[in-house]
Chain A
Amino acid sequence: MKVSITINGTTQSHDVEPRTLLVHYIREHAHLTGTNIGCDTSSCGACTVHLDGEAVKSCTILAAQADGGTVTTIEGLTKNGEMHPMQKAFMENHGLQCGYCTPGMVMAAIGLLNENPKPSEEEVRLGLEGNLCRCTGYHNIVKSVLAAANK
C-alpha cells in the first residue's frame, strides 16, 4: 500500500507492506537510522519520535496509521547546524553514555516539556517512565531535562 508521510519537513511516499511499523518505515524506507529499536514489547522507548507534535513510540504504530501525518525524528531537531536546546542540555550534563537510548530519550523529554514546561524532578522521572536507559542510571538525564526546562 502507498503511504505518504511528512518526515522532518519533507513529504515522502513509499509502497509498504500493510504490517510495516512506523519505526521500520522511518529506518528502512526513509533511511533515517537515528531512531533506534530496543525491544519488541513497546517497553523501552528507544523508538520515540514525534507524530503530529506528540511523542509516540514508533514501534506501536503502523506506518499506515501515520499516513498523511507529520513526523519529527531526532535528525529533524537540528536547525541550521545548531542542536536543539534539549540536545545541548544532554551534552552539557553528560545525559548520555552509549547513546542508544538517547534519540528516543531526547524526543520523549521534548514531549514532556511541551506538556509541562516547568516540571519538578519527580515529574521528570515519572514523565520518562516509558524510556529505559541502561547506562546513565538516569541521574544526568533528569538533570539534563531540568536544565533544558530552566533555560
Chain B
Amino acid sequence: MSITEERTNNVIGQRMLRREDPALLTGEAKFVNDLAIPGALHLAVLRSPYAHARIKSIDVSDAASMPGVVAVYTGKDLQSTWAAPMPCAWPVTPDMKNPAHYPLAVDKACYVGDGVAAVLATSESASRDAIDAIDVVYEPLPAVIDLEDALSDRVVIHDAIGTNTSYTWNLKVEAAEGAVDQAFKNAAFTVSERYVQQRLIPMAMEPRAVAAVPQPFGGDVTLYSATQVPHILKVMTAITLGIPEHQMRVVAPSVGGGFGSKLDVYAEELLCVALARKHGAPVRWVEERSENTQATIHGRGQIQNIELAADKDGRLTAVRVRLIGDMGAYLQLVTPGVPLLGAFLYAGVYDLPQAYDFSCTSVFTTMTPTDAYRGAGRPEATYAIEVAMDALARAMGIDPYELRKRNYIKKEQFYDASGNPTGYTAFHGLNYDSGDHLAAAEKAMQHADYVALRKAQATQNVPGARKRLGVGMTSYFEMCGLAPSRVLASLNYGAGGWESATVRVLPTSKVQVVTGTSPHGQGHETSWAMIAAEKLGVAPEDVDVLHSDTAIAPLGLDTYGSRSLAVGGVAIAGACDKVIDKARLIAAHQLECAAEDLQFEKGTFSVKGSPDKAVPIAAIAFAAFTAHNLPDGVEPNLEAQYTHDPKNFSWPFGTHVCVVEVDTETGKVDVLKYVAVDDCGNQINPLIVEGQVHGGVVQGMAQALYEEAVYDGDGNLKTSNLAEYLVPAACDVPPITTDFTVTPSTTNQLGVKGIGEAGTIGAASAVMNAVIDALSGLGITTLDMPASPNNVWKAIQAAQGGTK
C-alpha cells in the first residue's frame, strides 16, 4: 500500500481499543518490582549527601555485621569489576571531554545522590537499614550549580580533564561569509532575548527497578529492567562488564512510563548484574521516589540567548543562538547530544535564508546528570524561537499570528514547479518532508476563536483590572523518526537509527510480529497489530506482537524520540511486504500462473481478470509450513525480517493556542483553554494519537507553570520528592481540545511521522506566550518559567515598582 492508494481494509485509522489495557486494569500486568524471584538478594546504594566532596575513607564494618547483610562494597572494591566506564554513546565533537564515570564513585562524589557504596542483603529493609550504618568521611568541596559559574572554571569538578567545559558545538550556515552579521546590520527590527530552561525531573510514575538473574553454571545473565531500551542496555552491559554479548539477555516487562528517563544505562543496572554474577544469586533493586529524583536523569537545563533579525515587514533574515547546556556531573548515554537535537530548529517553521549561527557550549555542574527528557532539545528550541517571535511582534507592534503568517514556509514550497512533492530543503540542508503550517494554524485559530478572544481581551485588560486575559500561540516543527543512520554518523552518534521487524504467518494463519521497539505506555501492541492486519488482510485479533525481550526480539534500537512508528512501524510494513512477496511465489505455483499476474487484496491472491482463481494467505501459510509442494528455491515457512533505515527524519508540525487568565493580586495563572492542532501525517490509531497529545501537552504546561528542580547554593536538591516537586494533578490542568490536519509523510510507505513528543514541544511556549501576553500591558515582556504564583506576583511587583 502506498499513501496514495486507496485503502482496502480500513484497519489503519480506526479508534481501536487497546489490547494492553485489560492486564493493566486488573493488576495482572507485571512491572519489574512485581516479579517473583526466589532467593533474590536486595541491593541498596549509599548516596553522597554532598554535591562535591572528596571521599577520605569508608568504614563498612558495622554495616557488614548487621542481620541479613550479605556483603558491602565501596567503589574501590568494585573497580576491577568494570571492563569499561559507564557509556556515553554520543561524543558530539572529537575533543569532547568525558570524565570516566563508574557505577560507584571512587575518590570523589560529584552530586548529591552519587553512589558511594552498595549493600547486598536478604531483604529490602535490611539492605536499606545497613546503608545508614556505613561511615563515610568526606572532605566537602564547593558546589557548582550555576552554568555561567561552571563556565568560569572557578571550581573545576573533574580534576582529570581540568575544565568544566565538555564541548562547544557549532552550526553556522551562511549564503556568503558574514551573512549573519550583515543581516543584523541591515535589519529593520531585531530582538535579543535570554531564556532559562529550568531543570526538570521526568518523574515517570513507576520508579526504576532492576533484577539480575544469573545462571551460575552457564554464565548467562538475564537482566529485567524498567527500561525503554532493552537492546541498547544489552550491548552496553556486555561491554561495560566484559560479558560476551550473547550471554546477556535483557527483558523490559511492563514499564510504567519513561519520557526519556529510562533511555539510559544506569549504575544500578550494572551493579545488579555484576553482583549477581559475583554471588551466583539473583540481585534486585527498586528505587524509592526520593532516590529517583537524584539518581535518575534530569531534563532540560539550558541558558538560551537568541537574536532575531527581520526586515521591515517582519520577515526573518537571520537567527543567532548561543546556548549553555547543563550536563550535570557526568555524561550519561546521550547527554551531550540533547542540545544538538534542537540545533536545527531555532528557526522553527519559518522560511529563513542561509543566515543562521548556532553555538552550544556544555558544562559540567555538581548536579544530577541530565539527558533526554520528552522532546529532548526540541521543546527548548521551539520555546526560544516561539517566545522570541512574540517579542518581535511586540517590537513591531503587530499581531503575533500575523507575524507568523508572514514567515511560515508555504505549502507550495514543499512541491516543485510541476507539483511533485519534493519536500522543503531548509537553510541547513535537511529536507522537511511535508507540511502545511498555515492550514494547521488556521484550524487552531478557529477552535480558539482568536478574533473574538482578542476583542474580549481588549475589553477585559483595562488599567486596574485584577484578572487579565492572555492568548499565546506556538507553531512548531519537530524533527523526529530518529533517525537516518547516515545523518547520525555526521553528528558523531555511536549507533545507527534503523529499526527491525520480523513478521511470521504461523501454520494456522495466526500472525506473529516481532518488533525492536520497546513500549512503555504507547500501545505498540495494538497499533503494530493494526499495521500487520491491514497489510496482510487478516483480523487484528489474529496478530500477536512480541517485544522487549532480547531473546525473543534480538534486533532493535528501542523506543524514544517519537521514532517507534516512523521507523519501527514502517519496518513492520516492510516485513509484511516481504512476506507477501514470498507468499505470491507460492500462490503463483499453486494457481499455475505467473507471479506478476497475481493481485493481493484483503488477504487473498487472485489472478488478475479471473477472480475465481484465488488462494487466501492462510492456505499459503499452511502450504509453506508443510512444504509438500513449494516452488523450487522457495524455503519453507512464511516469515520475513526487514530492517528499516529511514531516508529522512520525519517532520510533524502543528499550532497550539493557549488562553490564560492571570490574577494580578495572587499571581495565579488559570489556563482557560488549550487547543492543539497537530499534524503527524497518517494516523494508525487516532485514539492513541490523541492520548499522546494530551499527555505531552500537560508535560509542557507543567514546565511552563509548575515544575522546577530547585537546588540550593550547596547543591542540595530541594525538590527531592513528590511533595516538593509539583507534578500537576487533574485539578491543575484544563481539558485539551485536540484536532488534526493530515499531511502524509512522503518518505515512508505508511505516510506517518510520529506524535510522542509533539504536545510537549508545543505547550511550554504556547502557555508562556499567553502569560506574557496577559501581562504585557503592565510592562512585563519577559518571564522565567515556571510562571508560578510567586514568580508572576514578583514580576508584577517589579514592573509596577518600575513604572511608579
Contacts and interface: CB of A to CB of B under 8 A. Distances in A.
Chains A and B are bound partners: yes
Interface of A: 17, 27, 31-44, 46, 73-75, 77-78, 83, 87, 90-92, 94, 96-103, 106, 121, 124-126, 128-142
Interface in B20-36: 20-31, 33-34, 36
Contacts of B254: 98-99
Interface string B427-463: 0000000000000000000000000000000000000
Contact of B204 (A106, A121, A134, A136): A134
Nearest to A75: B27
A36 to B, nearest CB: 7
Interface string B177-215: 000000000000000000000000001111100000000
Contacts of A78: 26
B27 A33 contact: yes
Interface stretch (B52-60, B499-507, B692-700): B692-700
B305 interface: no
B25 A83 contact: yes
Contact of A125 (B290, B698, B727, B731): B731
Contacts of B68: none
A125 B17 contact: no
B636 interface: no
Contacts of B688: 94
25 contacts: A36-B31, A36-B256, A38-B722, A41-B290, A43-B721, A43-B723, A44-B205, A75-B28, A78-B26, A87-B25, A94-B688, A94-B690, A97-B257, A97-B695, A98-B254, A98-B255, A99-B20, A100-B256, A134-B699, A134-B727, A135-B521, A135-B691, A136-B691, A137-B736, A140-B691
B721 A99 contact: no
Nearest to A43: B722
A39 to B, nearest CB: 4
A32 B27 CA distance: 8
Interface string B1-42: 000000000000000011011111111111101101000000
Contact of B205 (A75, A106, A132, A140): A132
Given A38-B206, A134-B695, 18 more contacts: A17-B125, A36-B256, A39-B289, A74-B25, A92-B17, A98-B205, A98-B206, A98-B257, A103-B25, A124-B730, A126-B731, A132-B205, A132-B729, A137-B698, A138-B729, A138-B730, A139-B694, A139-B736
Contacts of A97: 257, 521-523, 691, 695
A137 B257 CA distance: 13
Interface class of chain A by DSSP: loop
Interface string B244-262: 0000000000111101000
Contacts of B20: 99
A132 B257 CA distance: 13
A128 B730 contact: yes
B584 interface: no
Contacts of B731: 125-126, 128-129
Nearest to A90: B25
A128 B520 CA distance: 23
Contact of B730 (A40, A83, A141): A141
B722 A91 contact: no
Contacts of B255: 98
Contacts of A142: 730, 735
A96 to B, nearest CB: 6
Contacts of A74: 25-27
Contacts of B23: 99
Contacts of B465: none
Interface residues of B, number: 56
Contact of B256 (A31, A41, A99): A99
Contacts of B736: 137, 139
B605 to A, nearest CB: 36
Contacts of A131: 729-730
A83 B26 contact: yes
B687 interface: yes
Given A92-B17, A139-B736, A103 B721 contact: no
B722 A44 contact: yes
Interface of B: 17-18, 20-31, 33-34, 36, 125, 203-207, 254-257, 259, 288-290, 520-523, 687-688, 690-691, 694-699, 721-723, 727, 729-731, 733, 735-736, 759
Contacts of A92: 17
Contacts of A125: 729-731
Given A99-B29, A137-B733, A40 B257 contact: no
A130 B729 contact: yes
A103 B735 CA distance: 22
Contacts of A43: 721-723
Given A97-B257, A97-B522, A137 B697 contact: yes
Contact of A100 (B21, B257, B696, B721): B257
B27 A140 contact: no
B82 to A, nearest CB: 30
Given A98-B205, A98-B520, A137 B695 contact: yes
A34 B27 contact: yes
Contacts of B203: 134
Contact of A94 (B204, B289, B687, B730): B687
B201 to A, nearest CB: 11
A39 B690 CA distance: 28
Please indicate which of the listed interface residues A17, A96, A128, A137 has the most CB atoms of chain B within 10 Å of its own CB.
A137
What 7 A-B pairs have minimum CB-CB distances, sorted nearest first?
A34-B27, A99-B24, A100-B256, A98-B521, A137-B698, A33-B34, A137-B694
A101 B691 CA distance: 15
A142 B691 CA distance: 13
A17 to B, nearest CB: 8
B329 to A, nearest CB: 23
Contacts of B206: 36, 38, 98, 100
B27 A94 contact: no
A136 B24 contact: no
A74 B25 CA distance: 8
Contacts of B729: 125, 128-132, 138
A133 B730 CA distance: 8
Nearest to A128: B730
A77 B26 CA distance: 8
Nearest to B258: A98
